[in-house]
Structure 1
Amino acid sequence: MKITHAAACLSALAIATAAQAAPLVRIFELSVHPAEQAAFANVGIDNLSTSIRNEPGTLAMYAAQRTDRPSEHIVVEIYRDEAAYRIHADSPQFKRFAEVAKNALAGRKMWETEPQFLMEKPTALYAINNQRLKINLAEITVKPEHNAAFRKIVMDEMRQSMAQERGVLAMYAVTLKNAPNEWRFFEIYADENVYLAHRQTPHFQGCLKATAEMVRARKVIELQGGTLVNQGGLRFDD
């Protein structure tokens, strides 16, 4: 009986540990040759839409163009774990994408990250070239001595935003691997008005004021269109 109880405890511990494990999040910057934009967009739609439909471990995939430089695409991918990513990388749709990308890409950068906060509305998102959505990628460098305090403040702000604002569809915060004071925020809003209203909320204004002296550099990259898909309901609040 003691052995059974011990096994049950170990099993419960394993389940709890697995539930708390951080998903795998990668960010890409892809430069596409102008003549290859259409082919790249089409194979990207195929890759992302097929993957989110067929792969339970592929939690979210986003590909959007910079509004200031449409030949540059930002891609954010979220997988349950490394095993889920390997399943995706071995899929027929990804191999089709990789084949087109060989000629389409003029440049490629990739960042490994440490997830800090990942949250979506419960309803799955499936948007192809939806120009109404407001999409931002913020790059923030925090003064190292303020990183812990910054983290606490922004995570509290994001929790309130997701809980109180219906049009805030997804918020993700990660830090770059081996650079914990380099933060990246990827956010999706239902439209521009929702985003503007969000910026006026007490929790956002309070966060902005409280972290003003903690930030060394800040850049917001506006994105548009593309393919934005997720399973819905992701919640990682480390």
Structure 2
Amino acid sequence: MIIEQAPLFRLFKLQIKASERQAFKQIGQQNLLTSIKQEPGTLAMYTGHVDDAGLENRVLELYRDQASYARHAQSSQFQAFKTVAGKAVVEQSMRPLTPLCLLQQAPAIREIAPTNQFVALTEMTVKAAKLSEMQTRLKGEMHQGLTTDAGLVVAYLGQDQAEPQKLVLFEVYRDALAYQQVCQTVNFKLFQQMSQPLIVQQKITAIKPDVLVNHGPLTFATR
């Protein structure tokens, strides 16, 4: 699927109560699996946690447009999730992202924990004068990775709408070994070497997947 119009792209960070973890996980699974099955405009949804207890959560969503999100927000499965989340979530932040490059491999993903999939979230601040160059380098690396690295199945690049110098790279690999193998390639090491002078700050977070769903092959890129 080739997307011409920029989709709605958002990253959530959620802190939840330990006592509500199981209920939150179960209703989240129901929400994502039902939505990806019933809503063509819900392009992809990924949830996971950073800590072993599962209290520090990340949610990444991709919708075809605002109308598609509105339909999802009115759905019965989301309303059920919203009710549980209202009790479970103690802290929440949402970052609207401008999509710069969105790439997905076939087949469609329907992964539920426990799964071997490895998810990496890279958040970086780039020097203002080097922002365009960094975006170009990242897009090239993403296309290269999806073409040559069989273990890379999803790669998204977004720009923080509130702070344009901040970029977010979201990647899903077949497993941790595939990620490690990519990090050891000559091409990746060269990319790191060339990109490091452009970056002010960078944080890479490994996310333990809870639910990962999408509709399969997808391509979107800005010029």
Residue from 31, 45, 69 that aligns with 1:85 = 69
State the distance in 1 between where 2:211 and 2:35 align. Answer: 12
Structure 1 alignment gaps of length 5 or more: 1-17
TM-score under structure 2 length normalisation: 0.96
Name the structure 1 match of 2:42.
58
Q: Paired residues, what number?
A: 221
Q: Deviations over 1:136-159 (max 9, x none)?
A: 111100011110111111110110
Q: Deviations over 1:161-214 (max 9, x none)?
A: 001111101000101003221011111111111001111223312211111111
Query: Which of structure 1's runs of 4+ aligned residues deviate more than 3 A?
Result: none
Q: Does 1:213 align with 2:197?
A: yes
1: CA distance, partners of 2:215 / 2:126: 31
Q: How far 1:68 moved relative to its partner? A: 5.8
Task: Measure, in 2, the Cα distance between the counterparts of 1:118 and 1:140.
Answer: 17
Normalized against structure 1, the TM-score is what? 0.90
Larger Rg: 1
Secondary structure at 1:179's aligned position in 2?
A: coil
| CA RMSD across the alignment | 1.3
**Is the contact made by 1:67 and 1:222 (CA closer than 8 Å) also made in structure 2?**
no
Q: CA–CA distance in 2 between the matches of 1:130 and 1:154?
A: 30
**Pairing of 1:46-125 with structure 2 (within 5 A):** 46-67=30-51, 70-125=54-109
Sort the Cα spacing of 1:53 and 1:99 in 2 relative to 1 into closer, same or farther, 3 A: same
Find the counterpart in structure 1 of residue 140 from structure 2: 156
CA 60–128 in structure 1, closer or farther in 2 if over 3 Å, else same: same
* Residue in structure 2 matching 1:202, options 186, 209, 216: 186
Please give the residue correspondences for 1:33-44 in structure 2 after superposition, counting only pairs within 5 Å. 33-44=17-28
- Alpha-carbon distance in structure 1 between the residues aligned to 2:176 and 2:96: 29
| 1:26 partner SS | strand
Residues 52 and 60 of structure 1 are in contact (CA less than 8 Å); yes or no, is this contact kept in structure 2?
Answer: yes
Deviation by residue 1:42-88 (Cα, 9 ceiling, x = unmatched): 00000000000000000000000004662111000000011100010
Whose helix fraction is larger, Structure 1's or Structure 2's?
Answer: 1
